Structure 1
């Protein structure tokens, strides 16, 4: 009652005019709850604010709505892209027990099950396996199941290190009886420092420089490099294959070594006379090489292997165009306006540029040794005649006419594409010690948004199974004498946990044996810079 009159105190929404209890004793919670429910305010928020437009993947336009979850995810991606170092990650996703016959059907069932569990059946670009016949048969059945990403052209890759091992073993078989004696003698010599000192004294007395026992052919070095985990190995395989071919060509007519080298070269040609497409694509997508560098390599390989690769070059261009068109269809919607390609500069001009001397007509002044050295930056070269390749190897090549027609059709449809722009641009000739092919493609992903995805997929293919096979050694340490009752599921979980922990610390498999390396270090009996007969 105020002044004798009854007064009602309330609260009214100034938008919808709805009345609410307004005494201070009633609080304000009911008023706060009304604001998001007010029909007038709802209508104003939905129609009064100016909306933002966004482009959908199909090119259509729609209203953009802010999503905190999407913003957080994109922010994390931006931070990772700008601040974290580039590199590869390796993880074991499954280690399934095959408790029955180790045949193609069992392999297919396990692989398909793991891929299905992780939802990656349509995201697999390539699978690298060794040359076991069961694996080859399994890939025949897996191909239609796992080729949903961009087809099956590059789906099956054979382990390069396994092939190198077969090449070496074919040479060792020629003198395996003598090899046993050599190994026994070297083991006996290395077992005692006194014996090593006596060996050095004998060499000095005979006027021979005492030094480390070493191999003339760098098969071990190739195996170490090609089985790496945290850097791309697919762009390196042609370098090392070229190095091996040059060594085999150099020694195949040597009176002392030809009975060893010829079986090795036959094995080399049996597997690598037909160069896998993945090796060629990876080499071309290295901006230091491109088509010009690849052409030079093919010409030198033709000299070493006595094989005409001219039709293969045309075939590679056609297949590269075809797979690029698939990527264009799959990822073309993400393209934005491409900026002008920046000029690449660096501190030092490396020997990569010398590979093009062959195309510039200056190869007549360069020996095979200098060409090999200039291309790879390590190892010795090759001289001598070439061995003839089998007719069967040549017959596996596509005909020049059909490959040329395919390349012409592909080229006409890709005029002005990213691939054409990349291949027509100059190679990278200047770069410093820290130059990385991954960093180059990251820096040019706006220039080549689709082609950079193809390059990333090709560079991530491991060309060796050594790092994966090391998982079996890990499992052997888990299922030991005191843990024989562990079930297969528990052994798989322990192996995955161990591998993922090592992956986070980047301490996964390395092919280098530190103990073996230390033992070989003792075989350097004097400094290479000292003359023969230097002090003990």
Structure 2
């Protein structure tokens, strides 16, 4: 519209008594006010404008309330919810590890302004405040959820050193919620100034638990085998023991990380056989040494029509699982290495047939270790009923390898056995309970597994008795009928005369005594029932959820035991996210902001790796 046209609109809008301007499709004329002042209100937002001097001011307002480019009748433009816009920005920062300055980037602001012209840009400080607000809100929600958890809470914790060399302590809670779903939540990711002694770490742990209000709900804590962790558990147990909140006075509190123990066992064995795998390592280095060698090796693979789909892997000496993967892929290309030795005279590290046979035996021995470590360290955090028979499989493999005719393999297995006996000569008792609470196995699998091992009958019976008696002790003291009965002294509120009776409670005691005589405990009843088919897939938590009516108290015990984490992988997984949050480009980020970003991401998005 030209300037003259606009002027004509302004002149004729009221002078002629007709509303010729387009704005009157969007504005309502108001009654003439004092002094003959004419006003009009926007039908979109209700804002009032003066109409005496023309309609240009109203035209400028139209795009804020209406989509003028849309055909048809006028459509009201949806107003922008600025608070929601800021919250969505904060969510994107938390979920994708964006820097707070992301909201100040010109491209970001231009995009948001394009999407809605009412957007009000915010600063990095405002974005940070919004993230902290979300953190505080979600922490309050999680606190309330933890208070409502009927069962116990199991913990894992570990230390991490950031790129700035600051030590961070991650504390993770594991529990089964009201829907019988296993949950994992990172409670704290706090910077801990040195020294990192067990006593100091225990003090931080005690403060964390008090802040969350779950010190009376602690069941177990899973830790790696660092020496300071033994001190940590002792100090923490002593504190909780003062309030009489430890399960069975702390007999089952400390659980050792199974993945860490497996790593120690394998690393001990690899020290013995380092020479046996050196030629394979040198062969891989040779092939990966240049583009020409890679091409020649690929020609060998093509000539032999090898299609195993595996990469030629170089191991990291300090990571035994990478060594296993290197050996496994090398065996798949064994013939290709043999052909390479024929066509390339500079390739000098080709293993002999005897060495290949040894590598094959080593790989077969390490395979169950690798599979079980992968299972234990899975992102789905498996329930603890997987612990017993997988540790038993490890023991079986080691004992078989001790009898190997190859002295190198036998020596490797003997060193592994020493480390196994140090940590697992007596299987973790509370984790062994978990396989008994799997209705496909119960005690029969424990008896069967021990019978298959090379141990004397007396030793086997002692181990069985330890697990059997320990399980009954836990049930009777914490979940069985004795833990739910109590006597009370009856007092009259209508008289000041004491009505104390020294034999008060005799009737309830006699009733419970008869109940013990005449009825079996829920644990005994469960154990006497026939096992389910072990070959069928079974969600153990779902089984106990479905059988709450039959075993109301035993199901509570099963829920708590099955939520015990086998490894500390839940805490360790937060370290990879922490490395992204506190990257080399964000070293000045405050530790409080790091904790807020990481914990809020876990609570909102479950630490998705996106």
In which range does the TM-score fall when normalised by the shorter chain? 0.5 to 0.7
* Residues 1:451 and 2:601 aligned together: no
Superposition TM-score, scaled by structure 2 size: 0.52
| Structure 1 position 175 matched with structure 2 position 273 | yes
Contact 1:499–1:508 (Cα < 8 Å) also in 2: no
Of 439, 451, 474, 1:323 maps to: 474
Deviation at 1:247, TM superposition (A): 1.4
Partner Cα separation in structure 2 for residue 169 and residue 296 of structure 1: 29
2:246 and 2:441 mapped to 1: Cα distance?
27
In 2, distance between residues paired with 1:249 and 1:332? 45
**1-structure distance, mates of 2:536, 2:378:** 22
2:594 corresponds, among 491, 508, 527, to 491
Distance verdict in 2 for CA 1:471–1:414, change over 3 Å: farther
Instruction: For 1:204 and 1:182, locate their aligned partners in 2 and report how far apart those are by CA, in whole Å.
Output: 13
Give ranges in structure 1 of 5+ residues lacking alignment: 1-72, 78-83, 334-408, 510-536
Return the alpha-carbon distance in structure 2 between the equivalents of residues 193 and 450 of structure 1.
66
1:149, distance to aligned residue in structure 2 (A): 4.9
Q: Evaluate the alpha carbon distance shift between residue 424 and residue 491 of structure 1 in structure 2; reply closer, same or farther with a 3 A threshold.
A: same
Matches within 5 A, 1:157-196: 157-176=255-274, 179=277, 181-189=279-287, 192=294, 194-196=296-298
Tell me the TM-score normalized by structure 1. 0.59
* Match 2:388 to one of 231, 235, 238: 238
1:101 aligns with 2:195: yes
Question: Secondary structure, in 3 states, of the residue corresponding to 1:94?
Answer: strand
The whole-number CA distance in structure 1 between the counterparts of 2:180 and 2:425 is 34
Measure the CA separation in 1 of the matches of 2:226 and 2:554: 34
Q: 1:132 pairs with 226, 231, 237, which one? A: 226
1:316 is displaced (CA, Å) by 1.8
Residue in 2 that maps onto 1:351? none
Q: CA deviation at 1:175?
A: 3.2
The CA deviation string for residues 335-369 of structure 1, in whole angstroms up to 9 with x for no partner, is xxxxxxxxxxxxxxxxxxxxxxxxxxxxxxxxxxx
Aligned counterpart for 1:418 among listed residues 513, 522, 530: 522
The one of 134, 150, 165 equivalent to 2:247 is: 150
The structure-2 alpha-carbon separation of the partners of 1:271 and 1:430, relative to structure 1 and needing over 3 Å to count, comes to closer
Change (3 A) 1:413 1:259: farther
- Asked if residue 269 in structure 1 is aligned to residue 421 in structure 2, the reply is yes
1:90 aligned counterpart, secondary structure: strand
Q: Secondary structure at the match of 1:463?
A: coil
Counterpart CA distance in 2 for 1:146 and 1:190 is 56
Cα offset, 1:284, TM superposition = 0.8
The structure-2 alpha-carbon separation of the partners of 1:99 and 1:236, relative to structure 1 and needing over 3 Å to count, comes to same
Distance across 2 between alignment mates of 1:413 and 1:114: 45
Find the residue that maps to 1:442 and give its secondary structure.
helix
**8 Å Cα contact 1:159-1:465 kept in structure 2:** yes
Relative distance call for 1:170 and 1:206 in structure 2 (3 A) is closer
- Give deviations 1:56-110, integer Å, cap 9, x for gaps: xxxxxxxxxxxxxxxxx9xx99xxxxxx986422110001211110111221011
Match of 1:123 in 2: 217
Structure 2 CA distance, aligned partners of 1:204 and 1:494? 49
State how far apart, in whole Å, the 2-side matches of 1:430 and 1:178 are. 39
2:465 maps to what in 1?
Answer: 314
Q: Which consecutive unaligned segments of at least 5 residues does structure 2 have?
A: 1-144, 150-177, 305-333, 340-352, 486-512
Which deviations, in whole Å up to 9, do the C-alpha atoms of 1:137-175 show, x marking residues without a partner?
110111133451523121110000000000110011113
SS of the residue corresponding to residue 91 of structure 1 reads strand
Residues 495 and 118 of structure 1: CA distance in aligned 2, closer, same or farther (over 3 Å) = same
Report Cα offsets for 1:281-311 as digits up to 9, x if no partner.
01111111112222112212345x9982201
Instruction: Confirm whether residue 427 of structure 1 aligns to residue 579 of structure 2.
Output: no
Q: Does the CA contact (< 8 Å) of 2:375 and 2:382 recur in 1?
A: no
How many residue pairs are counted as aligned between the two chains? 349
Larger Rg: 2
- SS across alignment from 2:255: strand
Kindly state the Cα deviation for residue 328 of structure 1 after the two structures are TM-superposed: 2.5
Q: Does 1:281 align with 2:375?
A: no
- The equivalent of 1:442 in structure 2 is 545
C-alpha deviation, 1:475, in angstroms = 1.3
User: Per the alignment, do residues 160 and 430 of structure 1 end up closer, same or farther by CA in structure 2, a change over 3 Å counting?
Assistant: closer
Instruction: Return the match for 1:465 from 562, 568, 575.
Output: 568
Q: Deviations over 1:466-518 (max 9, x none)?
A: 23112122212211222111121111111112222331xx8479xxxxxxxxx
Question: Aligned to 2:335, which of 196, 203, 206?
Answer: 203
- Structure 2 counterpart of 1:224: 374
Question: Counterpart in 2 of 1:356?
Answer: none
Task: Quote the Cα distance in structure 2 between the aligned partners of 1:96 and 1:306.
Answer: 50
- Say yes or no: does 1:291 pair with 2:443: yes
String of CA shifts for 1:223-253, please: whole Å, max 9, x gaps.
Answer: 1111235354311112211211221122212
Secondary structure, counterpart of 2:191 in structure 1: coil
Whether contact under 8 Å (2:385, 2:435) holds in the other structure is yes
Distance change >3 Å, CA 205–CA 438, structure 1 → 2: closer
Is residue 381–residue 565 contact of structure 2 (8 Å, CA) maintained in 1? no
- 1:215 Cα deviation from its structure 2 partner: 2.3
Q: Distance in 1 between matches of 2:391 and 2:518?
A: 31
- Kept in 1, the 8 Å contact 2:223–2:255? The answer is yes
Other structure's SS at 2:217 match: coil
Secondary structure (helix, strand or coil) at the match of 1:125 reads strand
CA contact (8 A) 2:441 2:531 kept: yes
Checking the alignment, whether the CA contact within 8 Å between 1:234 and 1:278 is kept in structure 2 is no
Root-mean-square deviation (Å)? 3.5
